[in-house]
Amino acid sequence: MSQDLKAILREMDVLWQNFMICRAHFPAVDDTTIGHTEVKTAPFYEKYGLEIYFSFGEPLTKDRQSKINDIGHWINQNFVIRLYALLESHHVLSKEINIDFKIDGSDDVDLIRRLRNYFAHSSGKYDPSNYRHVETLEKMGEYLDKEIQGIQDFPLPINTLLEPLFNGCKRYVEAKFKAA
């Protein structure tokens, strides 16, 4: 395995680990936690050794729950932006380097590219009047195996979208570097 391939895979793994640590500290907080003063992070993070408890000085309110979830979504968006930046910095793709759709993981890279453009160059909100947004949301729906409707933000669930996209990007990187 080339040094370049080892370097990008190592950087991708560090990005994922840092992302998991950040999200474990800002997990999605559902309505069942409203009124509680202690909340445990989601079980998903335990497989990364991140069993975290949050203690609030006063019971969790709907407004605070909403803010915590907004921060988590913002972290997810930033993960997408940073993942794309890694791919670009290692010359996997760019404005001049197209995605090779014959390589396994190319659809994952394409979805990361699309989302990165929305998050880095606009509000990151879903615009149903933008045909590119509609097309991207349809691709996400195919990925998630469901139709997505009535949203304001692009859905970014970690376990069913971001983790599989990340793994697809790794497959793409490995195949592209080995083919070079």
pLDDT in tens, 9-67: 999 999 999 999 999 999 999 999 999 999 999 888 988 899 999 999 999 999 999 99
Angle at the Cα of 13 from the Cα atoms of 70 and 143, rounded to 5 degrees = 60
Residues 111, 115, 116, 121: is their CA dihedral positive or negative?
positive
Res 1 pLDDT > 70: no
Angle at the Cα of 170 from the Cα atoms of 167 and 176, rounded to 5 degrees = 145
Res 3 pLDDT > 90: no
Instruction: List strand residue ranges (DSSP E) for the chain, in order.
Output: 38-40, 53-55
Residues 41, 45, 46, 49: is their CA dihedral positive or negative?
negative
**Which residues are paired to 40 by β-bridges?**
53
**DSSP letter assigned to residue 60:** P
pLDDT in tens, 150-176: 899 999 999 999 999 999 999 999 999
Angle at the Cα of 73 from the Cα atoms of 67 and 79, rounded to 5 degrees = 140
Q: Which helix (H) or strand (E) segment is 108 a member of?
A: helix 106-121
Taking residue 2's Cβ as centre, other Cβ atoms within 10 Å add up to 10
Res 2 pLDDT > 80: no
Q: What is the pLDDT of residue 143?
A: 84
Q: What is the pLDDT of residue 123?
A: 86
CB hemisphere CA count around 45 (13 angstroms): 19
Q: Are 137 and 126 in contact (CB under 8 A)?
A: yes
Q: What is the pLDDT of residue 145?
A: 86
Q: What is the pLDDT of residue 88?
A: 96
pLDDT in tens, 87-135: 999 999 999 999 999 999 999 999 999 999 999 998 889 999 999 999 9
Angle at the Cα of 12 from the Cα atoms of 4 and 158, rounded to 5 degrees = 155
